[in-house]
Amino acid sequence: MRIGFIGIGAMGTEMVRNLLKAGHTVTVWNRTPARAAELAGDGARVATEARECAAQELIISMLADDRATEEIIFAPEFIDEIKPGVIHVCMATISVGLAQRLTAAHAAAGLHYVSAPVFGRPPAAAAAQLFIVAAGDSASLARLTPVFEVLGQRTFVVGSEPSKANVVKVSGNFMLASMIEALGEAFALVRKHDIAPEQFLEMLTNSIFPAPVYKVYGGLIASDHYEPAGFKLSLGLKDVRLAQAAADAAMVPMPLAGILHDQYMTAIARGYGEFDWAGIARLSAEAAGLPVRGKE
């Protein structure tokens, strides 16, 4: 299949490599051209304009946020380039409201749109172990199944309305952010009582919290090591805001989201925006008067 892939970040890079390995012809475009150029050696065709990706059989967008997605996808020259029957699948974490607008814009132009955000960090993308949450018309989802199988370990279909997938995604990321905050506070507590964080992590992840996410984020917090970021703390703030926006639109109180929002704002104000979003735990350690690990 001829695929146009827009947005070559840490996740997009690994996803494109897996598509190429599976034999697909992939044209890539990124706002920072150097990132896309890195994939030329893997066999990707590097586009000079986003509209070149729109001219393919399938379009995948994996841009950083709503603003970037709007700027590219709503450009007249982009929509006009898409041929009838082509599917655009957005696999980025965007707002529920934007997903609804994208659905309407594509329908008005007689085009197919699917939301399919993913759960997983760059290593999972590289190993084709992402979890994909998809929503859209059944015919489009059926055509996308072979592509999703190349990118992930399982696809969850949550309905025919694309924005439902985005509701699931922002809800899941809200839960991850909540978990990370709880881990940060708990690790600060045990450190203050002279319990080694590594010992605490081993006990937790081999008893009541054996899930991989606890091992990954707990490991980062135990070592107090947040660079390079698998998912930037600044993007964590973006996702908390997306959850709040979805909650406001549906009149759903989310008091914990307010706490997380303020914690992320504080962390960014302290210069931690480029940290992995597990770096929010640094605030709990600092509040407890604990030194940075490795500098004790």
- Residue 201 CA to residue 190 CA, distance in Å, equals 10
Q: How many CB atoms lie within 10 A of CB 196?
A: 11
* Residue 169 appears among annotated catalytic residues: yes
Which strands make up the sheet holding 58-61, listed edge to edge?
45-46, 25-29, 2-6, 58-61, 87-90, 112-115
Catalytic residue among 169, 192, 238, 295: 169
* Catalytic residue numbers, as ranges: 169
